Structure 1
Amino acid sequence: MGGAERTARKRRQQQQAAGKQAVAKARGGIDSKRIGIIVGVVVLIAAVVVGGLIWTNSSQNATEGQTIPTSQVPASQYPEQRDGLVAVTGNPDAPVTIDVYADFLCPVCGRFQQEFGKQINEKVAQGELLLRTHMVPLLVDASTPAGYSLDAANASLLAADAGKFTAFHDSLFAHQPEEGKRGYSKEQLIQLGRDLGITDQAFAAGINNGKFDQQLTAEMQRISEDSSLHQDFGGRSGFGTPTVTHDGKIVDFAADPQWLDKLTANAGS
């Protein structure tokens, strides 16, 4: 083999080796890029999952550590008191009496309070209406942890003993916890009472020891079995909150936004 041939052959070998190196490098670059993308996606997914868990936990426990703001109610010359497991507010000689059954955790009860609460309070303050409020623990298992609706109902009766039921009731509904999530703790309920001016130590003690818990639980069972309080819920009959009654009959407040004005107007005619 001559020198020229050896030189040409060596050049071809060098070109082949360079080509293989280029292919290997190209392949290595693609793999590295793909790996980088995969790692980035995994990191992004992990961040989304962790962020979601943090948001969910924060949302779940939104009421934790909060001070419940107090609500102002119209000044009234009429007393607030507890009659067994019922909070009674207004003029004992008022021409109209209504009974309202509600649960502090019930979102429909919250909407009822937003729509009609101010009007009810005004008619009570004016002596036109006697209000009997039954706070029932219907959704006792619908908070995390369970028990908020029972704790709140118990606390509201103790607030009634202190003459502060309406302000306590309205404050809890104005800042209502979300169903299925954390309610307010006993200490938060106690602090709300303090902020409303309840100084009697019996209030805090009654909340901590669940003074009316057993009675409220038994009353919830009785009410749920009372057919006079049953309504039709899409083909299913039973008790639900809120329920309003007048003279022993259920008031269809959802069908007639003027129901309260009509009740008081008819009483005066």
Structure 2
Amino acid sequence: MGGAARNARKSRQQAAAARSVAQARGSKSDRNKIIAVVVAVVVVAALVIGGVLWINSSKNATQDSAIQPGTTSSLGPGVVEKRDGAVVSVGKPGASKTIDLYADFLCPYCAKLQQDFGPRMEKAINDGQLTVRYHMVILLNKNSDPPGYSLDSANAALAAADQQKFTAFHDALFKNQPQEGGRGYDKAQLIKLGQDLGISDPKFAQTVNAGTYDQQLQTAFQQVQNDPKLQQDFGNGQVGFGTPTVAVDGKAVPAQGDWLAKILGG
């Protein structure tokens, strides 16, 4: 074999070797791409599954848990809790100011109002300055899973008022508020809260289980929803009834800034 032939053969061998290396590298690159895609899919799937589990856990956070009674309420001597239909009045006879407070136990804004102003309202009640007429509104009754927590909790609060335990019951429900859209507390848990607050009368549990005040609460909700004096302007042309609503002399007032000081000092 001549030199030219040997060189040509060597060139063909080198070219073939180069193609083999390129193919090997290409195959390795493709494998790496496939592995990367598989890993990405697994990571995304894990994140989705983890997110679903977290959401479900959050939504069901109230299951099998006790509602903590707390120690936030401290009504003093002479304060009267009186249920009148679906409304509970809390105050001393002859208090100089009266407000109506409309709230839903599932409403996060109502819980914020209770957190910010509840202790001050109770102090004003103890000092004989203020009577609060509490209206348990069932605006968000469909917003629990299963639906119905707003109504069940409102009925239980009225049952607690019959036992002179409304304020403590009311404060505990807001302090341990369930997540809107999640599971509320069931009737057994609401009864247990009443018992932990010292209610021993079996009529309380009977009233909670029977939904004794459900119809009164539903009727009252329809009335306040359609009361023009309780309509508020939410901006962007939206006018209607919402929670929380504070009313003086039957008319809604803006619950903004230090609204309580304005009412007490007005």
TM-score tier after normalising by the smaller chain length: 0.7 to 0.9
Q: 1:111 & 1:134 partners in 2: Cα distance? A: 17
Alpha-carbon distance change, 94 to 8 in structure 1, aligned in 2, over 3 angstroms: closer
Match in the other structure for 1:133: 134
**Aligned-residue offset at 1:196:** 0.9
Question: Deviations along 1:63-119, whole A, 9 cap, x unmatched?
Answer: 222222223212322222211111121212222222111111112211211221111
Cα deviation, 1:142-162, whole Å, max 9, x if unaligned, reads 222211111111110001011
Q: How far 1:262 sits from its partner (Å)?
A: 4.2
In structure 1, the residue matched to 2:248 is 246
> Residue 45 of structure 2 corresponds to which residue in structure 1?
46
Tell me which residue corresponds to 2:82: 81
Match of 1:208 in 2: 209
Structure 1 residues 43, 253: CA separation in 2 closer, same or farther (over 3 Å shift)? closer
Alignment partner, residue 186 of structure 2? 185
Count of matched residue positions in the alignment of Structure 1 and Structure 2: 263
SS in structure 2 of the partner of residue 80 of structure 1? strand
| 1:32 matched to 2:34 | no
- 1:154 maps onto 2:129 in alignment: no
Question: Structure 1: how far apart are the matches of 2:57 and 2:204?
Answer: 30
Indicate whether 1:236 and 2:235 are aligned: no
| 1:116 pairs with 2:117 | yes
Return the offset for 1:9.
8.8
Find the residue that maps to 1:37 and give its secondary structure.
helix
Partner SS state of residue 105, structure 2:
coil
Aligned to 1:57: 56
Question: Secondary structure of 1:250's match?
Answer: strand
| 1: CA distance, partners of 2:238 / 2:32 | 60
1:108-143 CA-to-partner distances (Å, cap 9, x unmatched) read: 211211221111101111222222111110111122
Is the alpha carbon distance of 1:14 and 1:137 closer, same or farther for their aligned partners in structure 2, counting shifts above 3 Å? same
* Structure 2 partner of 1:260: 260
RMSD, aligned CA: 2.4
- The SS at the match of 2:111 is helix
Residue 88 of structure 1 aligns to a residue whose secondary structure is strand
> TM-score with structure 1 length normalisation?
0.87
Residue 228 and residue 26 in structure 1: after superposition, are their counterparts in 2 closer, same or farther (change >3 A)? closer
Relative to structure 1, the CA distance from residue 75 to residue 10 in structure 2 (aligned partners, 3 Å threshold; closer, same or farther) is: same
Partner Cα separation in structure 2 for residue 162 and residue 135 of structure 1: 17
- Runs of 4+ aligned residues of structure 1 deviating over 4 Å after TM superposition are 2-21
Distance in structure 2 (CA, Å) of the matches to 1:239 and 1:26: 69
Instruction: Provide TM-score, normalisation by structure 2.
Output: 0.88
**Mind listing any 5+ residue stretches in structure 2 that lack a counterpart?**
none
**Percent identity (aligned):** 48
Q: 1:261 to 1:32 in 2, by over 3 A?
A: closer
